[in-house]
Amino acid sequence: MDRHLDRGDAALSDRHPNRLPAWLLVALVGPPMAFAIVFYAWPLATLLAKGLGPGAIADVLGRSQTWDVVWFTSWQAVVSTALTIVLGIVPAYVCARFQFRGRRAVLGLLTAVFVLPTVVVGAAILAVLPDSLDRSIWAVLGAHVVFNLAVVVRTVGAVWEHLPPDLEAAAATLGASPLQVARHVTLPLLRPAITAAAAIVFLFTFTSFGVIRILGGGARTTIEVEVWRRATQLGEIDAAAVLSVLQLIIVGGAVGWSVWSQRRHGHAIALRPRAVRRKARTLGERRLVVATAAGVSGLLVVPLLALGERSVRTPDGYSWTGWTTMGRAEVRRGVRLGTNPLAALVNSLEAMAVATTLSVAIGGLATLAVAAARRGRWLDTGLMLPLGTSAVTIGFGMLITFDTAPVDWRASSWLLPVGHALIAVPFVVRSAIGVLRAVDPRLVEAAATLGATPARAWASVTLPHLWRPLATGAGLAAAISLGEFGATSFLSRRTTETLPIAIERLLGRTGSILQAQGYALAVILAAVTIALVMLSELVRDRARRS
């Protein structure tokens, strides 16, 4: 009785004698807060201050080239989103409603591609397309679809599989044809999920950076790429800052609209708690299932296979030259590389180690703080903000903030992993906070009635739940750091360039051995990323079962 009223407030309320001691809360909240303020809020403020300078705004907005970039960014994002939704609806339906052999494999494949670094997906599309289409708009759209298909299938499918089939049956008994059922019952019910998926895909494609850097061919640039080009290639910092702010405004507007729209069209549906999937019965259904599974798998697997194929292709037939020459700075006598692929691999692993350690430490403290502090929700929201800020914005902000003494940190090797950690921390918090929130506050109370001080009760009841989800988060952080390209483009230096940077550089060159090396590196990056994510999901599923 009264459970809903007094649950869990004991240790938290202001004057309650059982509250956690202040020093503990400060120790938990302090480091993540300081981290977010120094490495996120401050650079963002610097960026805004530069980008809102009246002279720079007038200059940038006055150029027609700016509007060309904004126009291209917008329309390719809209078309990419529409294509992804249209192509994703059928697989979403098939995976949600039918039980078939290979269903989990198809879903796993979608997820695997989704977690791949952008440069790897770009490289895979580059590998699979014939030279004539190589750096065309079709390549960009194709990469965006392949990348984001998982968003549509997962988001829409998650609602679809829980929609009661009886609703559709009811419409049919009222005289609706299958098409009318779809139009008047199913689609309206799926609409919030479709809007949500569209918003996510739009966000990803509007801020597309790695894919465009590989496939845009220089002629087509999104706002993100233009920010990078102006800032690092042309040295027009102010103009780049204005573009960054412009991008923040457009993205903010899009996110706001999608939240509003989802609220407006949300229905309270009695979703079935368990998904009911059945085997395909009619010939038509069976054909649909087989064609969809084959089509999706082909769409995802063929580019990845092409990646491997291109890594061993040379003008004189297949050979391992691309792989075996990787460590040598000199490919042939006299042909020297500006890029050392093996060194890039080592740099990437070093950055990954530091970034993962940092993300786990900061993310772990933040998770505990969010779960324990009364105003934890604010910290939670604050730490999610880097998710909504593009990696390019984060990297650019850090670049222009930490460039003067006493904070001239551009030459420090730790600035790059700090940038990676900033991007990874929200994922660490997300993967752990649910577990901590699920800890019954009555367990803490039980410890208190047995004589444990508030701090002791917290340490013996709440804290032990953190380790497993933190291991999951560590896997994600490592994968994110390895593939990170946006912030890295600003923060890495010649001597410390990472795998994605090396891949982009090698693929942008002529010379078949350099190209093969680029593809070989992409294969390595893809394999390691998928392995890390699978490992981290394995840990999570184990934890769930026990």
Query: Which residue in 449, 510, 544, 545 binds other proteins (CB under 8 A)?
Result: 449
Query: Which residue in 312, 452, 534, 535 binds other proteins (CB under 8 A)?
Result: 452
Query: Which residue in 216, 341, 419, 454 binds other proteins (CB under 8 A)?
Result: 454
Residue 543 binds to other proteins (criterion: CB under 8 A): no
Separation of alpha carbons 258 and 349, rounded Å: 38
Query: Which residue in 257, 440, 495, 511 binds other proteins (CB under 8 A)?
Result: 440
* Shorter beta-carbon distance to other proteins: residue 397 or 454: 454
Query: Least distance (Å) from other proteins to the CB of residue 495?
Result: 47
Residues of this chain, 17-36, that bind other proteins according to CB under 8 A: 17-18
SS (H, E, C) 325-366: CCCCCEEECCEECCCCHHHHHHHHHHHHHHHHHHHHHHHHHH
Query: Least distance (Å) from other proteins to the CB of residue 28?
Result: 20
Query: Which residue in 456, 511, 538, 542 binds other proteins (CB under 8 A)?
Result: 456
Query: Which residue in 291, 453, 495, 541 binds other proteins (CB under 8 A)?
Result: 453
* Shorter beta-carbon distance to other proteins: residue 4 or 264: 4
Separation of alpha carbons 422 and 315, rounded Å: 43
* Shorter beta-carbon distance to other proteins: residue 10 or 137: 10
Q: Total residues contacting other proteins (rule CB under 8 A)?
A: 29
278: β partners: 98
Residue 544 binds to other proteins (criterion: CB under 8 A): no
Residue 451 binds to other proteins (criterion: CB under 8 A): yes
Interstrand relation of 330-332 and 317-318 (parallel, antiparallel or unpaired): unpaired
- In this chain, which stretch among 6-14, 82-90, 298-306, 381-389 interacts with other proteins, using CB under 8 A? 6-14
* Shorter beta-carbon distance to other proteins: residue 225 or 448: 448
Amino acid identity for residue 507 in this structure: L
Residue 460 binds to other proteins (criterion: CB under 8 A): yes
Residue 12 binds to other proteins (criterion: CB under 8 A): no
Separation of alpha carbons 511 and 299, rounded Å: 28
Separation of alpha carbons 425 and 358, rounded Å: 9
Separation of alpha carbons 11 and 488, rounded Å: 42
Rg (CA), the chain: 25
Backbone angles phi, psi at 277, to 5 degrees: -115, 145
297 is written with which tokens?
């798998």
* Shorter beta-carbon distance to other proteins: residue 184 or 437: 437
Query: Which residue in 442, 493, 527, 538 binds other proteins (CB under 8 A)?
Result: 442
Query: Least distance (Å) from other proteins to the CB of residue 5?
Result: 4
Q: Which residues contact 140 (CB under 8 A, 6 or more apart)?
A: 76, 80, 208, 211, 212, 215, 216, 220
Element housing 499 (H / E) = helix 499-507
Query: Least distance (Å) from other proteins to the CB of residue 10?
Result: 5
- In this chain, which stretch among 69-77, 284-292, 392-400, 445-453 interacts with other proteins, using CB under 8 A? 445-453
Residue 448 binds to other proteins (criterion: CB under 8 A): yes
Q: Build a one-symbol-per-residue string for 254-283: x at contacts with other proteins by CB under 8 A, - elsewhere.
A: ------------------------------
* Shorter beta-carbon distance to other proteins: residue 11 or 146: 11
Distances in whole angstroms, Cα of residue 223 to Cα of each of 32, 254, 271: 30, 15, 40
Q: Which of 214, 106, 99 is nearest to 161 (CA)?
A: 99
- In this chain, which stretch among 7-15, 227-235, 255-263, 338-346 interacts with other proteins, using CB under 8 A? 7-15
- The end-to-end CA distance of the chain, in Å, is 30
Question: Where are the alpha helices (H) located in 118-186, listed in sequence order?
Answer: 118-128, 137-160, 165-173, 178-181
C-beta neighbour count of 128 within 10 angstroms: 20
Residue 510 binds to other proteins (criterion: CB under 8 A): no
Q: Which residues contact 84 (CB under 8 A, 6 or more apart)?
A: 144, 145, 148, 149, 151, 152, 201
Residues of this chain, 464-483, that bind other proteins according to CB under 8 A: 464-465
Binding site for other proteins (CB under 8 A): 1-2, 5-6, 10, 13, 15-18, 440, 442-443, 445-454, 456-457, 460-461, 464-465
